[in-house]
Amino acid sequence: MTAAHETSSPGEDGQSIRVLIAKPGLDGHDRGAKIVARALRDGGCEVIYTGIRQTPQMIAEAALQEDVDVVGLSILSGAHLELFPRIVEELRSRGLDDVVLFCGGIIPEEDTEALETLGFKAIFRPGTNTRDIVSFVRTNVPTG
Amino acid sequence: MTDLIERFLAGERRALSRVLTRVENGTPAGREYLRRLYPRSGRAHTIGVTGSAGSGKSSLTGALAGELRARGHRVGVIAVDPSSPFTQGAILGDRIRMQDLILDEGVFVRSMASRGALGGLAPTIDDMVATMDAFGFPYVFIETVGAGQDEVEIAGTALTTVLVNNPGTGDDIQALKAGIIEIADVLVVNKADRPGADVLVSQLKALLSLAPSEGRDPPILSTVATTGEGVPALVDAIDEHRAWLDRSGELERHRRQEARHQVLSIAQRIVLERIRAATSGEALGELVAQVAGRALDPHTAAERLAGPSRPDEAV
């Protein structure tokens, strides 16, 4: 059996989408992350929230142990181009290359391309309607 | 499928994680995995940690796991948090209190949503525990949803039940009531650095002395989970309970009782699913309408739904 068949998507299982919401780096403002976590909860997802000041290894390890379908990163410190590549690398080194990635926070427009190249499927900036985030998750995780 | 089980048996954490998801969701693959892994379970010391919301269950579980790591043991943790009854969504936040353990390869923490189960656990909790057990963790902790008075299911799932209490949360009449306190194998007064801890310990002692002793009184221990105070003694008490289970023959009794409970409750679910599959939406709707309109009582309606018992199908 190939790795693709081992993916346990909610479509296959008919169960909840599991999402990890994580805050990498040193900024301590997690209101945005909590609002997103709450919106996804209300959208029927099972949301694992790990709190602030997570290292790339901690985020990848939590994603592995929780077998999440989606990882959402919230960052306000400006260190996204430092931290996100390391997180993606930590995820890949653990074989988690099929996880849907999105991010949000203070992220300049000019960094969009770099993040898309890294594999981020969406960037949600201030002013985003949380319904758009829920609908992004529902669209990008196969359900049936 | 074989490949995933092989990787599981080789101790690969990612394989464990994937198997757990399928076992949790009860998919055909998950059932098959469980069927193959179940004979390997039954070796772990399963420990339930229960108590009210905010009593410090997660912090204490993290502290206990840390102490067991210091003693050289690998530890699995399953932490249950509630699902929304309206959207089925959940926020699973128990990992926040276990940050120190996250990069330790000897610890595996899995969060679970209660998915509509009552009693502080989740529908497939026993299967998840058996999977962790089969992976080879000598200790598996099960942290319940914040539980108040009669969420006693954990005593079936775990060999040792630790009940976490806090000072200043009620008088001795609360503790005198029936229910959750009766299932405690070990009583903990957590946040013992707060005022009233000594009083609570005395109240719990007095309470235990009211009951006729049946050979073993649960010990009462004081802890401060956030500093680690009292945690080594709590690990000793948990180990001592396991030794007592072995010595007294209670272990065998517990296992048989739990096996019986699991088989009957799964059979109950299968029968219900069969009845649902055999009943048309209209027929059910008609019965429901009659009961709602008080033309029929619910017992009679349920008997009609279940149909006459058929002797040829009797086991």
Token pair of A115 as six digits: 């993040």
To test the contact with chain B by mutation, choose from A2, A13, A58, A69 the residue with the greatest count of B C-beta atoms within 10 A, namely A13
User: Looking at residue A4, what is its pLDDT?
Assistant: 36
Q: What is the least distance, in Å, from the CA of B92 to any CA of chain A?
A: 5
**Distance between CA atoms of B163 and A4, rounded to whole angstroms?**
42
- Assign B160 a pLDDT band (cuts: 50, 70, 90): very high
User: Looking at residue B176, what is its pLDDT?
Assistant: 62
**Distance between CA atoms of B52 and B150, rounded to whole angstroms?**
11
User: Looking at residue B192, what is its pLDDT?
Assistant: 94
Write out chain A residues lying below 8 Å of B96, CB-based: 49-51
User: Looking at residue A23, what is its pLDDT?
Assistant: 93
User: Looking at residue B174, what is its pLDDT?
Assistant: 65
- Assign B291 a pLDDT band (cuts: 50, 70, 90): very high
**Per-residue pLDDT for B169 more than 80?**
no
- Nearest by CB to A45, which of B21, B89, B108? B89
Q: What is the least distance, in Å, from the CA of A15 to any CA of chain B?
A: 7
**Distance between CA atoms of B310 and B292, rounded to whole angstroms?**
29
Alpha-carbon distances, residue B192 vs A142, B145, B229 (angstroms): 48, 22, 9
- Nearest by CB to A48, which of B13, B22, B92? B92
B145 close to B122: Cβ distance less than 8 angstroms: no
Q: What is the pLDDT of residues B208-264, one digit of tens each?
A: 887 766 678 899 999 999 999 999 999 999 999 999 999 999 999 999 999 999 999
ipTM of this complex prediction, to 2 decimal places? 0.89
Q: What is the pLDDT of residues A22-42, one digit of tens each?
A: 999 887 888 989 999 999 999
CB contact under 8 A, B87 and A48: no
Q: What is the least distance, in Å, from the CA of B46 to any CA of chain A?
A: 19
Q: What is the least distance, in Å, from the CA of A106 to any CA of chain B?
A: 24
- Assign A2 a pLDDT band (cuts: 50, 70, 90): very low
Token pair of B186 as six digits: 């070990």
- What ranges make up the beta strands (E) of chain A? 18-22, 46-49, 70-75, 100-105, 120-124
CB contact under 8 A, A46 and B110: no
Token pair of B142 as six digits: 């099960």
Token pair of B27 as six digits: 């998919």
User: Does B100 reach chain A within 8 Å, measured CB to CB?
Assistant: no
What residues contact B269, with CB distance under 8 A and at least 6 apart? Answer: none
Higher pLDDT, B177 or B281: B281
B158 close to B50: Cβ distance less than 8 angstroms: no
CB contact under 8 A, B4 and A65: no
- Rounded to 10 degrees, what is the CA torsion of B31, B245, B253, B269? -30
User: Does B81 reach chain A within 8 Å, measured CB to CB?
Assistant: no
Average pLDDT in chain B: 90
DSSP assignment, residue A137?
H
